Structure 1
């Protein structure tokens, strides 16, 4: 019987309740609330009522026909719903599949039997007998199939039609073997078989029975005819597949006109193969002596490509839907454009690129002028022409970049080697590609308009780099473009300003990278980048100006100072301190997270480079840590919101002291920890004096731990019988007594814990002499106590559950 009251599960989510829990861990239902006891009593009452109701239901008393008395009330009879009989699970083959299997197997057997008959009986039957048997079998099987199909037995009709058409093929082969068809070659026999099979199948396909097999074999017969005549007509390699495509198209038109379902599709498949053969044969004959020229194309097989393009329009005779028309017209356009421009691609690469660029521009302009629904007709050839143009443009950009990065360090002049194509094509190619993207994707037109000026300027600078000019011309041009973009961004207060400023910053970074071979150019470009970042930070109107300026300014300023020091031939060891001071003061003057983070990274990088170049690395490290610690501490004192940075500054100053002590050979830990610990304790005492409600754990705890724990670790790892251990023990005793006297928890706990560990360490040399039975007895005692405690908790849990069950 179902129970509603269960003290071990949550009444809401029914998850188990752990022993001693006040709330459910799954749904947070309070379990100690007075309503919880009332709910448990209510559920227990529900269990009692359910038991009584179950007891009355098992002893029904009949009062009248069709009625049952239960607790003084009459319940009218309810007719039981009959259980639905389970539907048997389907096994084996479907009913419709059985005849298909049987008839398919039967047709196969008939054809095999016919072949065996020809192989065995052909030698002893006369011509008349052979002819009579084959013709009779063919007529009987074909007529029977048509008769069965007319009576609705389509599977049988299809099977017997297959047999009839197979026998018809054997009839033609047998006639050729008897010499009735003359001296035919193998190709000629295939053509005759195809013609006979296609003609008879087309006739059967046009009968009212609308069998599928004749529709398929009609297309197959035409394909066999094509295969038998291929290559037999001298000098007409393109004429035969052209005629075959037209024949298949006519067959498809017949099927469409007579409303045959399979015949048009079968004919279109055959036409596709013939069209592909025409196209491959035409393209294969374009080269004359390994060269594709205008004379060779139009004096050779170029017209075949145009014919193939025209034949692509044949499906429109059957179906003129927009999608099909657009596909056919697009394919014809691509082929026509390709054959008209093919001779140019065997010319020098500059000429070929210029032709592709012309096709790209013309097709893009056509797509822009055409209705949107038909624009793909021009966009597809435009996209195909854009592929070589994009590859060439990317190659030119990479070439320009490599010339800038690999500039000669002597005369700072770019290489004047010939480019892949003429550099003058780079800007027009970029323009054409941007136009194509804008026309093909209208949703990004606004972005293209924003990006276009930058792309054109970058490609113009790259063109300049490809002409072998001095390095400073490229650097200055790039820097001017970047500065202009940043200046333009300062005038906007929306997203356009952000985009222009970011792009301008990227261009200025490119100028910085390009100027790396020259310290003077590098210093100038870095100074320009610093000015741009300062302008963004102070004059930027768009929301992200402070972020961009704050992130960029410290790094750019540090790099400028470093480059200027390098230009002045200053010692590397002396460069980082001025950088630390300047970026630190900048962070103090403008306390923003992004600027402080950037300043920290820039200062740390400069310090690492200077320390790495120093002969006396520890001294240099101590100096830089001291400067950094002083700056961080200063910002924590100046700005109330930066008070937590005082801990970082203290750690940096302490680290500087530790580095210096290690350099002097000091090994005692107290020399490293006591100064900082004393400072922390003094600060904690000041806090306790000014704020009596403050806890000693948070104010004095860090300083006391730093003052005692390092010495304790030294004693634990070394000799416990030493002056350090004695002094540490005395200090711990004093801390414990002082804490008890002042009622401060921090000195009491630190003194007790550290002193206790120290005392245990003093006992360690004598613990080895302890008998083993003491250890075993101690382990047994611990285990016994744990076991008794466990059993006691279980007993209490059982008592609590029993008490809850008795609540009503």
Structure 2
């Protein structure tokens, strides 16, 4: 219970209870805590790079070196000590060393020391080879030597290697196919029947593969399989050479030269039992054997046979819906390659006939192709081209765009026509008509092909100017139909210029005046279709036409005038091409210069002042339209053109002359006038040109009084102007400072 506290009343002085307030105990504010950084971790030690050799490789190196030393020692023993031993000693040493190394290797391999077992197995097999060589040298193997000895060594080493299969060592598994291959190569020389040997070696290698699979060996199936593939390739290549050497029906079948290829096909068919894609090789070889007899009958027979093979396999693929299967696709591709070779030969022959029928522009419109015999029948070109498209569809299972059919048909038809003694106009008409039709067919993707056909028509028609004109007109029409495309817009000016030039050539117009109509036609085209690529090609074409037409200075001046006028008109009529007006002005000025040079005028001012005056008028007009525009870009070109050529003439040829005096007065006028108008360009140009002129006048031979008087007067005037300018500039600065101090 809390006791009552009495206090004195401030009014009456009596004792009254006072309410007691208990103040809570103030807890001290907690001290601020700051995060304590953990102690820095000790830097991790960088891993020390491994030095030296990996541990597992050390015994391999040591044992490999030991095996090599043992074999070298064995060879040295045979070379040095063989003749000193008797028959018994020789036999004991050879058999003992070979048996000891083989037994030791087998024991070590059985105890898990595979590296040692591998090394000793190689040593034992090497010693076995030396045993056989020594036995042959001692006469124990009868007459075996050379190829016979190699065959014996290969067979024995292969059999000895197979004895190591139960140890699962890798080296003997690799040596067995090598020994069998050595025996096969040696057997060719012994039997003179390479195809029989290759077949036998292939079968034996296949047997090794089966043995390795049954025994659970890891390397033997792969090594023997590689050997079987090499032996089969040997058989197939040799059979192909043999069959191609005797491609007739009698040579292939009656004389048996097709037997190696048929054997190779049969072996692949056997492999197809386990690996089905191998059946494609069988079908390909059988197709080749069927087509080869036609090769001896001439190009027509071979082309027809290849065409039949392509169509046969293509139809089989389409009928069975297995065009993408390897068994159909591989022989189809091989047949297509043969048919393509025939087509390429026919196309090359057709091009030779078309391009060499006559020199460009020398033949008439009725020129005919020569009546020469083609390598194969011309009809094979069209048939082969279409068959190749069919083969693509059958082999890939995907449809081709209509443009591919159009291109194949036109290529075949054109080649066929070119191989016949027909008028050249027929070929040109076929190409041009196909190109125009291809451009007109919208939506099938034939326009790029059509463009190529039109260009080909122009090239083919070059021997005749009339035919060339017709092809060019077709090209112009085709480009105009698709003029919105960039490539068509780029080709159209060149085609139009060439067609106008060719038309004038057909009309027998003088070449010196052909350039102007070409320029007019190109200018009209550029106005109708003002596109950058079209205008650029038109400029190049016009320049080329003018260069071909110019024969004298007057003709050059005419073409420059026409070109400058057309460029200027184009710049005025096309708002986006205002900048090319400068090029037009330069062309017109160049035309004036050429004409003045032809008239014998040699003073530079006659060439420069008219153009400079035109430039200055344009610059002044620009400054009047825009008073805030800088004077440098507007006036500097005209001022430089008006003064620099004369300055160069004065500096090089005539420093003390009326021309120099007039140039000095002009510089003085530019400086004073520019100062008065507050234009920087006249002041800068007049100052620089006048400075160079005054420096040139300091030469000893230029001490004439009038020149010095002029220079002195100019210097005085410039000094006065400079002082006045500086004084006014100072007054302006003081006035600015006074205004700045006002409050």
> What range describes the TM-score normalised by the shorter chain of this pair?
0.7 to 0.9
- Identify the residue that residue 27 of structure 1 maps to in structure 2: none
Task: Tell me, yes or no, if structure 1 residue 307 matches structure 2 residue 241.
Answer: no
Distance 1:742 1:124 in 2: 124
Secondary structure in structure 2 of the residue aligned to 1:694: coil
Q: 1:680 aligns with which of 590, 606, 615?
A: 615
How far residue 549 of structure 1 moved from its aligned partner, in angstroms, is 5.4
- Identify the residue that residue 268 of structure 1 maps to in structure 2: 225
Distance 2:326 2:437 in 1: 38
C-alpha distance 476-242 of structure 1, shift in aligned 2 (>3 A): closer
How far residue 654 of structure 1 moved from its aligned partner, in angstroms, is 1.4
**Paired residues for 1:1-16 under 5 Å:** none
- Identify the residue that residue 100 of structure 1 maps to in structure 2: 60
C-alpha distance 176-564 of structure 1, shift in aligned 2 (>3 A): closer
Distance 1:531 1:73 in 2: 88
Task: Tell me, yes or no, if structure 1 residue 256 matches structure 2 residue 213.
Answer: yes
Q: 1:393 aligns with which of 330, 333, 343?
A: 343
Q: 1:418 aligns with which of 373, 378, 383?
A: 373
C-alpha distance 457-756 of structure 1, shift in aligned 2 (>3 A): same
**Paired residues for 1:370-385 under 5 Å:** 375-385=325-335
Secondary structure in structure 2 of the residue aligned to 1:700: helix
Secondary structure in structure 1 of the residue aligned to 2:585: helix
- Identify the residue that residue 90 of structure 1 maps to in structure 2: 51
- Identify the residue that residue 752 of structure 1 maps to in structure 2: 687
Equivalent residues of 1:677, 1:707 under 8 A apart? yes
Equivalent residues of 1:350, 1:422 under 8 A apart? yes
How far residue 416 of structure 1 moved from its aligned partner, in angstroms, is 1.0
Secondary structure in structure 2 of the residue aligned to 1:260: coil
Q: 1:705 aligns with which of 632, 636, 640?
A: 640
How far residue 660 of structure 1 moved from its aligned partner, in angstroms, is 0.8
Distance 1:522 1:120 in 2: 89
How far residue 353 of structure 1 moved from its aligned partner, in angstroms, is 1.9
- Identify the residue that residue 604 of structure 2 maps to in structure 1: 669
What are structure 2's unaligned runs of at least 5 residues? Answer: 1-32, 704-743
Distance 1:307 1:689 in 2: 99
Distance 1:174 1:688 in 2: 111
Q: 2:475 aligns with which of 529, 532, 541?
A: 529
Distance 2:516 2:46 in 1: 93
Q: 1:583 aligns with which of 517, 522, 545?
A: 522
**Paired residues for 1:324-363 under 5 Å:** 325-326=276-277, 328-363=278-313
C-alpha distance 376-758 of structure 1, shift in aligned 2 (>3 A): same
Structure showing greater relative contact order (alpha-carbon pairs closer than 8 Å, 6 or more residues apart): 1
C-alpha distance 395-242 of structure 1, shift in aligned 2 (>3 A): closer
How far residue 648 of structure 1 moved from its aligned partner, in angstroms, is 2.0
C-alpha distance 660-132 of structure 1, shift in aligned 2 (>3 A): closer
How far residue 430 of structure 1 moved from its aligned partner, in angstroms, is 0.9
- Identify the residue that residue 81 of structure 1 maps to in structure 2: 42
How far residue 626 of structure 1 moved from its aligned partner, in angstroms, is 1.6
C-alpha distance 98-315 of structure 1, shift in aligned 2 (>3 A): farther
In the alignment of these two chains, the number of paired residues is: 665
- Identify the residue that residue 470 of structure 1 maps to in structure 2: 423
How far residue 135 of structure 1 moved from its aligned partner, in angstroms, is 4.5
Secondary structure in structure 1 of the residue aligned to 2:468: helix
C-alpha distance 533-161 of structure 1, shift in aligned 2 (>3 A): closer
Equivalent residues of 1:536, 1:548 under 8 A apart? no
- Identify the residue that residue 520 of structure 1 maps to in structure 2: 466
How far residue 211 of structure 1 moved from its aligned partner, in angstroms, is 2.5
Distance 1:163 1:380 in 2: 46
Equivalent residues of 1:486, 1:500 under 8 A apart? yes
Secondary structure in structure 2 of the residue aligned to 1:420: coil
C-alpha distance 549-431 of structure 1, shift in aligned 2 (>3 A): closer
How far residue 125 of structure 1 moved from its aligned partner, in angstroms, is 6.3
Taking only aligned residues, the RMSD between alpha carbons, in angstroms, comes to 3.6
Distance 2:563 2:140 in 1: 110
C-alpha distance 177-605 of structure 1, shift in aligned 2 (>3 A): closer
Q: Deviations over 1:177-223 (max 9, x none)?
A: 777776767666655555554444423323xx322344344445544
How far residue 707 of structure 1 moved from its aligned partner, in angstroms, is 1.8
Task: Tell me, yes or no, if structure 1 residue 653 matches structure 2 residue 588.
Answer: yes
Q: Deviations over 1:416-472 (max 9, x none)?
A: 1111211110011111222334455667x545x323213312320221121111122
Task: Tell me, yes or no, if structure 1 residue 205 matches structure 2 residue 205.
Answer: no
Q: 1:506 aligns with which of 431, 449, 452?
A: 452
Task: Tell me, yes or no, if structure 1 residue 453 matches structure 2 residue 409.
Answer: no
Secondary structure in structure 2 of the residue aligned to 1:398: helix
C-alpha distance 364-755 of structure 1, shift in aligned 2 (>3 A): same
Distance 1:195 1:599 in 2: 81
How far residue 670 of structure 1 moved from its aligned partner, in angstroms, is 1.1
C-alpha distance 524-368 of structure 1, shift in aligned 2 (>3 A): same
Equivalent residues of 1:368, 1:375 under 8 A apart? no
Q: 2:436 aligns with which of 473, 477, 483?
A: 483
How far residue 715 of structure 1 moved from its aligned partner, in angstroms, is 1.2
C-alpha distance 655-310 of structure 1, shift in aligned 2 (>3 A): same
How far residue 711 of structure 1 moved from its aligned partner, in angstroms, is 1.5
Q: 1:606 aligns with which of 532, 545, 562?
A: 545
How far residue 728 of structure 1 moved from its aligned partner, in angstroms, is 1.5
Task: Tell me, yes or no, if structure 1 residue 619 matches structure 2 residue 579.
Answer: no
C-alpha distance 753-297 of structure 1, shift in aligned 2 (>3 A): same
Equivalent residues of 1:145, 1:156 under 8 A apart? yes
C-alpha distance 719-263 of structure 1, shift in aligned 2 (>3 A): same
Equivalent residues of 1:249, 1:314 under 8 A apart? no
Distance 2:496 2:176 in 1: 83
Q: TM-score, normalised to structure 2's length?
A: 0.79
Stretch moving more, 255-264 or 184-193: 184-193
Distance 2:403 2:670 in 1: 71
Distance 2:184 2:487 in 1: 72
**Paired residues for 1:69-218 under 5 Å:** 78=39, 81=42, 84=45, 87=48, 89-91=50-52, 93-111=53-71, 134-168=94-128, 193-206=153-166, 209-218=167-176
How far residue 126 of structure 1 moved from its aligned partner, in angstroms, is 6.4
Q: 2:649 aligns with which of 704, 714, 719?
A: 714
Distance 1:572 1:74 in 2: 98
Equivalent residues of 2:490, 2:537 under 8 A apart? yes
Stretch moving more, 718-727 or 264-273: 264-273
Equivalent residues of 1:585, 1:631 under 8 A apart? no
